[in-house]
Structure 1
Amino acid sequence: MTETASDTVADRYGASRSKRWDRRIGWSLASVAILVGLLVIAFGNWRQSTTEFQNIGFTLHNEGGPGDAFSASTKFEVNADPGVAVSCAVEALNTSKATVGWKIVDLPVIDGRSQTVSVDIVTLGPATAAHAKACWPVER
């Protein structure tokens, strides 16, 4: 019995017809995985709480005398979903942009979307800037 040249090559290099089904299954699974990934990206953040903040301004209190502490005040606006508890990290920086004061502030739950917050920060030395660094929703 003689084999044709194509059968001999197919047997030698494994290019038989059963591989075609394996490729089709692989491409089908890859397509389904990509489709599911796109759906997760598109609808994954559908009902996520949106918490944003905007720095308004700051005041520095660097006239510390002997025994007096340095301090800074910052004012910022927080926008969050009504009824959501929010915490914010506030920091004061020196001329080298090093943190000289830090505070976590728990904001009260309000029925509205926006609230303006003023925070005083005690610093380790004279500050040149103070601002809200981050705000996030808190589960209570």
Structure 2
Amino acid sequence: MTTQEMLDERYGRRTSPRRRIVLWSIVGVVALTLTALLGWTTVSNTLRSVTATDTGFTVTDASAVTISFQFTAPVGEPVACAIEAQDEDHGTVGWRVVEYPASEDHSRAFTEEIPTLALATTGFVNSCWVP
């Protein structure tokens, strides 16, 4: 009875250690490259991220809402923020994009007024970004 090992030895079908080393080297280089790419993507996204926090709102009347908020952004970069007012059914009754020039301050606070189409019950920062 012949085994697979006997057949491989007879016909010269052996896996060489050199082939195994080359294969694992290629796998290692690919894994290292993907890890470096993921790391760079994470770092580059974090460097330009903007974090916004609502600090309050005041319903002025049926045609306006005043929103107070602060954001943390990269130093020396302009920032744009979308601020929004909603009614009691969570429908958008006011929306505005506000752009701020670059500053040397990491954190800044602002108060903005949004004109509304109907009586709003809340106002907040929808999002902020570096344009």
Structure 2 unaligned residues grouped into runs of 5+:
none
Q: Relative to total residues, which structure has the larger helix share, 1 or 2? A: 2
Structure 1 unaligned residues grouped into runs of 5+:
65-69
Quote the residue 1:126 is aligned against.
119
* C-alpha separation in 1, matches of 2:54 and 2:77: 20
Aligned letter for 1:57?
Answer: G
Identity percentage over the alignment? 26
Q: Identify the match of residue 5 of structure 1 among 2, 26, 45.
A: 2
Match runs of 1:15-94 below 5 Å: 16-17=13-14, 25-47=22-44, 48-62=47-61, 64=62, 70-94=63-87
* C-alpha separation in 1, matches of 2:96 and 2:65: 11
Aligned letter for 1:50?
Answer: S
How far residue 71 of structure 1 moved from its aligned partner, in angstroms, is 1.5
Normalization by structure 1: what TM-score?
0.72
Return structure 1 stretches of 4+ with deviation > 4 angstroms: 7-11, 18-27
**Pairwise CA RMSD:** 2.7
Deviations 1:96-135 (A, max 9, x none): 2121111110012222212111111111211111001111
Normalization by structure 2: what TM-score?
0.76
Deviations 1:31-88 (A, max 9, x none): 32222111222233435223221110001133x4xxxxx2111010121122110000
Aligned letter for 1:129?
Answer: T
Aligned length: 125
